Structure 1
């Protein structure tokens, strides 16, 4: 699997699937979740309500339509909230593992990922990047490109540096 890094808006990525850092209720929220729901339109929320009436547990993933996004699907993952005491790292790695499993079920070959839990959920950014790269580096998947999307330049540089170190 090819791991790429871009700086930009995850809602504008032309990929088969975008990964949404969702909350367990699966009804939209702030950060990446809010951006994806706004850009995708009400179709995303309606599909969440229909497919996940009880939400999803932390560490799990599920998919919906992408609505008006350029992607075909949204793969929703529920990352751990460190501020709420969810500090088990395996919950975070599970998000990436499950996202790739769902991508394989869908036949998605290109998937754009945010840094799950590294925003308002308070996971340290360096470790969030490390979790993603560990999973991507060992995954058995049909996904051809895992695109890490950094919202700002500092995060882009941080991901790029860790990716370069892991490739070296």
Structure 2
């Protein structure tokens, strides 16, 4: 228990002030209604006490990875550019702009930001969908399929399937900047 105000009030005050730093709330309340209210107020993750220290560390690392990804604003390849703020993929040769749904954009951006690094389905679920939801790993496969369909005309990159493990981005022409 906090001395001056409860956690809900603090989160509400923090978010109303425009702060976008990640918030991980630790609480003794385990009812779904409490969890639901917490996420509606703008909490990024939630742990019920007693906590396991190693789980707390994992969740903090996941939050920090998401924050780092959000602050890298633009990724430019030889003939295309990914703009994080607008969730846009721009073909620099034709000036065509492709708006992607948020999850698809975040997956593509993550894969291309660290080309040749293999991300497991669980890595992508954790980083993009977050640990607060219980998603099947096939959600990632479906997302990758949609990205590939939408980006089939882009020659700068490929998404490579690593059988039984996950995916990696591959840059085909030029360098990232």
Give yes or no for TM over 0.5: no
Question: Radius of gyration: which is bigger?
Answer: 2
Larger relative contact order (Cα-Cα within 8 Å, sequence gap ≥ 6): 1
TM-score by length of 1: 0.30
